[in-house]
Structure formats: C-alpha cells, structure tokens
C-alpha cells in the first residue's frame, strides 16, 4: 500500500466554521499551539459574541439553501400501484410487502400524525402505573422509607379536594376571641361570609350618611 | 442550594452517560449528595451504575407523565450520597405521549419544582437527539455541559446544540448558561485529535473545561461491571480526570 497518497485535510483555523457555522473564517497555514494560555481568555463581550455568532452565521446560509431546494414530490407511488408488473415478486412476497407497508404506514402516521390517542384515552398500560397509587409490600415500603428518608418532606403538601359531606363539629361553648387562635380550617369556613358582612356594613354606612345629610338639609331649610 | 446540570449533545457515543455517571460519583467522593436523572431511553447512565433499563418499571418516564408520582418512588439509591432516577425503554413511548401536550418541554422542570430532590447536585443525562426529552433536560437545568468528541464530524453538531440553548434561553429558560464544553475521546497520538482540541479551545476559550477525557477502554469496561470508572478503577488516570472535572464544576459554580 502506497504511503502519502493523499494530501492531509487540516482543520486549523476552521474552528468557528465547524463549531459555530461562521462561513467567513479561512483556514490558516501556520499552526497555533493548542496549549497557548493566551487563547484561554474570554471577555464578557466575546462571550456574548460567541452566542450571537451561532445564529448570525447560520441564518442567511440556511435561508439561501432553503430557497435553492426544489419543491418536494409528494405523490409517490403506493405499493398497491407497484404490484405486479414492475415488481418481480411472488404473490406471497407481494402480500407480505403490502402488509408490512400498511403496518409501517399506520405506525408512521400514528407517531407523526393523528393516530396517537390523547393521554386520557390511553388504554391500561405502563401509563396507568402511577407509583403513588400502587400499594407496596411492607418490607419494600420500609426499604424505600429507609433509603429516601426525608425526601417526601421536600415536596409541598398535595392538594386534596374537600369532602362533600360536612363534618359534624361540636358546638363551641366559648366564642374564640383571638382570631389567631382559630384553626386555619375553621377560619376558612367563614370566608364565604366576608362579602355578605362587607355588603351590610357598606349599606349601613350609606344609610347613616343619608340620614345626616337629610337632617342638615332640614336644619338649613328651617334656618332659611 | 441545588445546582441542576444537564449534559447534552445530539451526537451519540461521545461519552455523555459515562461522564454523567462519573461526575456524579466524583462529586459524592467530595461529600456532596447527587441525584442523577437518566432521560435517555437507551439507559446508558442507568447501565453504567448497574441498573438495567429493561427491568425498570418506575423511572423517569413516570416522573415525566404523572404529576403525583413521588420522586422517591421513581428513584433508586446507589450508595450513601448517590441517587438515580433510571431510564426505562418506556421513555420512547413517553416522549410520543408528551408530544401531544402543550407543556411537553417543561414537565421535568415543573416536576422538580413540585418535588425538589434534597441534594446538592442534580445531573441530567439526555438522549443523542434534540427532541422533547433533551428539551426537558435543558429547560429543567441551569447549567449546560456539552461533551464533544475531538473529531471533525462530532464537532459539526455543536452549532445546533448552541442554537438550541440560545432559543431555550430566549423563550423558556433564561437562567440556562453554558457551564463548559468538554473534550472527550481525545487521542493524544492523533494529529486530527490534537487539531480538533486546538480549534475547540480557540473558539470556546475559557468555556472549555481544562480537563480532557482521553479515549480509553476503561470507559467501556466499567459499565460491564455496572460501576462508574471511579469505583471500577479508582487509581486509573480516567478516574482522576473525572475527579478533576468535578473540581472544575464545583469551582465554576462559585
């Protein structure tokens, strides 16, 4: 085998073109030392430039390429149209090819088209295997608890819907005077009354204002 | 505060999973607690730590799909400080299911916000594509590591990766930053490899990690034993390289 039967292709100087798509760079003949410590400095502006170069260098190039592409030929012949004359296949083999094409077609459109059912319609499969709903044998659960001690505390409490039926509560003997002493759940039970109370307060204030105004007007009329 | 790193490059076979496993292991040697999340349906990271993705029932696919899946039920403890959310082959189907959701690329971020792993580092390994799973990793993370093989064809994909990062920074995850570009599979005796490293350094300058991961059979052997290189051959130069890389990662976060 002959030696040196090719001219060695060098990448020197083409780093920006290869890594960032910058077409403006030219290969350099004189090799630089890759270990030159001066090359390891990068200012903030250079760092921004590094990211900007990626898109600037790429976009016009890509657009020019896109314009140059011929339109896609979409009406490709189907296997059924190819059956027989043009394909030197036995009947069995033709049937096999057609079946394979149909199944691959359904798979293809299933993946890239409309064939995938929405998540909520997914039949029982791995999707339904939510570990939160699976009861583990006690020995397995204890191993998990041991290995992941404290991990469940990092998660915020999971919101659970309120029970539909009201829970019977004992009648309070003494009304709580300190609002802070009222348990949060109990405080929340009166939240829906706030707009009603506020409405009544506003109505009473308007009534008092009107009474004062009327009495002043009456007094002025009497004096006048 | 937890630092969330993603290791991504759409080129396959360049050492993403091996790097994730060994950075994780090296950080635990320094006393940090680490959670590794495997988003690659091929399960390279899981396999590198002795977990077979063919056997995984509860893994990252469940964490992505079920809002209420507890993080500790889809994870495994590898040792005292190392946790793994393994990959399952079902991730492929999960990706298709995710594609139909409007929140497809923010599922992991939201899940980790709801249930943050109580660790110092979360390291996410991604598949060799720029699909929904990789996007989930890039959206959930604050820092990106791009491993690049010291070879021309492998380097060509970096541009797309940088563009993906730039778009996600602009539209979804403004906090994402490039932590560093990592030269992998370096062959010291190869002129081509030397040139590739030189060009990467001339472009990325201090964004290149000083640590270089040289090509070595030990990287392929260790997963056979289901161990990280650091556990498999603790005194091997490759193990020391991962330790050095972990130190750089710690320092770059300060």
Per-residue tokens: A182: 């009222």
Q: Which of B77, B88, B163 sits opposite A54 (nearest CB)?
A: B163
| Cβ neighbours for B201, distance < 8 A, ≥ 6 positions apart | A34, A39, A40, B208
pLDDT in tens, chain B (254 residues): 899 999 999 999 999 999 999 999 999 999 999 999 999 999 999 999 999 988 888 899 999 999 888 999 999 999 999 999 999 888 888 888 888 888 889 999 999 999 999 999 999 999 999 999 999 999 999 999 999 999 999 999 899 899 889 888 888 999 999 999 999 999 999 999 999 999 999 999 999 999 999 999 999 999 999 999 999 999 999 999 999 999 999 999 87
CB B174 within 8 A of CB B36: no
Q: Which residues of A touch B192 (CB under 8 A)?
A: 11
Q: Which of A20, A33, A130 sits opposite B66 (nearest CB)?
A: A130
CB B87 within 8 A of CB B46: yes
Instruction: Tell me the residue range of the domain where B168 lies.
Output: 3-252
Please report whether residue A104 resides in a domain.
yes
Tell me the C-alpha distance between B87 and B46, whole Å: 6
Please report whether residue A93 resides in a domain.
yes
What is chain B's length?
254
Q: Which of B99, B116, B199 sits opposite A11 (nearest CB)?
A: B199
Q: Are residues A57 and A87 in the same domain?
A: no
Q: Which residues of A touch B208 (CB under 8 A)?
A: 40
**Per-residue model confidence (pLDDT) at position B1:** 87
Q: What is the CATH number of the domain that holds B180?
A: 3.40.50.300
Q: For the purposes of burial, counting CB atoms within 10 Å of the CB of B149, is it exposed (0-12), middle (13-18) or buried (19 or more)?
A: buried
Please report whether residue A148 resides in a domain.
no
Q: Are residues A58 and A86 in the same domain?
A: no
Q: Are residues A55 and A95 in the same domain?
A: no
- B100/A118 Cβ within 8 A: yes
Instruction: Tell me the residue range of the domain where A92 lies.
Output: 82-117
Tell me the C-alpha distance between B113 and B107, whole Å: 10
* Shortest alpha-carbon distance between residue B217 and chain A (Å): 25
Q: Are residues A62 and A89 in the same domain?
A: no
- B57/A129 Cβ within 8 A: yes
Tell me the C-alpha distance between B67 and B152, whole Å: 42
Q: Give the tens place of pLDDT for each residue, A99-148.
A: 666 655 555 555 545 555 555 555 545 555 677 777 777 877 888 888 88
* Shortest alpha-carbon distance between residue A204 and chain B (Å): 47
Please report whether residue A55 resides in a domain.
yes
Give chain B's largest Cα–Cα span: 53
- A148/B72 Cβ within 8 A: yes
Residues of chain A with pLDDT under 50: 1, 31-40, 74, 76-87, 112, 124, 158, 160-167, 172-187
Q: Which residues of B touch A8 (CB under 8 A)?
A: 191
CB B140 within 8 A of CB B4: yes
Q: What is the DSSP letter of B208?
A: E
Please report whether residue A22 resides in a domain.
yes
Please report whether residue A72 resides in a domain.
no
Q: How many domains does chain A have?
A: 2
Can you tell me the ipTM of this complex?
0.80
Helix axes B237-252, B16-29, angle to 10 degrees: 80
Mutate to test the interface with A, among B152, B202, B211, B212 (most CBs of A within 10 A): B202
Q: Which residues of B touch A54 (CB under 8 A)?
A: 159, 162-163, 166
Per-residue tokens: A123: 């039949």
* Interface contacts A/B by beta carbons within 8 Å: 139
* Shortest alpha-carbon distance between residue A32 and chain B (Å): 8
Q: Are residues A53 and A91 in the same domain?
A: no
**Per-residue model confidence (pLDDT) at position A174:** 46
- A32/B101 Cβ within 8 A: no
Q: What residues does A197 pair with on adjacent strands?
A: none
Tell me the C-alpha distance between A115 and A102, whole Å: 14
- A154/B196 Cβ within 8 A: no
CB A131 within 8 A of CB B74: yes
Q: Which of A13, A41, A132 sits opposite B69 (nearest CB)?
A: A132
Q: How many domains does chain B have?
A: 1
Tell me the C-alpha distance between A128 and B170, whole Å: 35
Please report whether residue A60 resides in a domain.
yes
Q: Which residues of A touch B75 (CB under 8 A)?
A: 148
Q: Give the tens place of pLDDT for each residue, B18-35.
A: 999 999 999 999 999 999
Please report whether residue A214 resides in a domain.
no
Q: What is the DSSP letter of A115?
A: -
A93 phi, psi to nearest 5 deg: -70, -40
């Amino acid at each position: 085998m002959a030696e040196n039967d090719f001219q060695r292709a060098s990448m020197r100087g083409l780093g920006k073109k290869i890594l960032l798509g910058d077409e403006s760079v030219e290969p350099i003949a004189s090799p630089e030392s890759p270990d030159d410590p001066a090359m390891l400095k990068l200012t903030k502006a250079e760092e921004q430039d590094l990211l900007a170069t990626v898109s600037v260098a790429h976009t016009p190039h890509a657009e020019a390429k896109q314009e140059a592409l011929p339109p896609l030929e979409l009406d490709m012949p189907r296997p059924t149209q190819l059956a027989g004359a043009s394909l030197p296949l036995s009947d069995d083999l033709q049937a096999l090819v057609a079946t394979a094409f149909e199944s691959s077609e359904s798979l293809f459109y299933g993946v890239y088209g409309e064939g995938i059912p929405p998540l909520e319609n997914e039949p029982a499969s791995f999707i339904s295997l939510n570990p939160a709903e699976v009861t583990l044998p006690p020995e397995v659960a204890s191993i998990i608890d041991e290995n992941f001690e404290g991990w469940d505390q990092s998660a915020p409490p999971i919101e659970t819907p309120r029970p539909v039926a009201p829970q019977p509560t004992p009648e309070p003997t003494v009304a709580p005077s300190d609002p802070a002493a009222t348990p949060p759940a109990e405080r929340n039970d009166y939240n829906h009354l706030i707009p009603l109370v506020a409405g009544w307060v506003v109505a009473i204030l308007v009534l008092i204002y009107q009474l004062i105004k009327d009495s002043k007007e009456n007094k002025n009329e009497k004096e006048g | 505060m937890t630092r969330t790193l993603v290791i991504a490059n759409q080129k396959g076979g360049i050492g993403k999973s091996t790097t994730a496993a060994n950075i994780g292991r090296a950080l635990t040697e320094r006393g940090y607690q680490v959670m590794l999340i495997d988003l690659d349906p091929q399960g390279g990271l899981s396999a590198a730590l002795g977990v077979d993705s063919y056997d995984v029932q509860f893994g990252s696919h469940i964490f992505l799909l079920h809002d209420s899946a507890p993080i500790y039920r889809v994870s495994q403890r590898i040792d005292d400080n190392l946790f793994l959310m393994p990959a399952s082959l079902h991730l492929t189907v999960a990706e298709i299911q995710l594609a139909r959701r409007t929140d497809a690329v923010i599922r992991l971020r939201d899940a980790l916000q709801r249930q943050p792993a109580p660790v110092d580092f979360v390291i996410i390994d991604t598949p060799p594509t720029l699909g929904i799973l990789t996007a989930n990793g890039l959206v959930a993370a604050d820092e990106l590591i791009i491993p690049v093989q010291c070879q021309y064809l492998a380097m060509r994909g970096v541009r797309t990766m940088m563009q993906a990062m730039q778009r996600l920074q602009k539209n979804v995850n403004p906090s994402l930053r490039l932590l560093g570009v990592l030269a992998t599979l370096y062959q010291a005796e190869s002129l081509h490899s030397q040139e590739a490293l030189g060009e990467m350094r001339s472009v990325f300058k201090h964004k290149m990690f000083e640590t270089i991961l040289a090509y070595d059979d030990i990287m392929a052997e260790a997963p056979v034993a289901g161990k990280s290189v650091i556990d498999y051959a603790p005194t091997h130069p490759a193990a020391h390289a991962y330790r050095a890389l972990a130190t750089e990662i710690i320092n770059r976060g300060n």
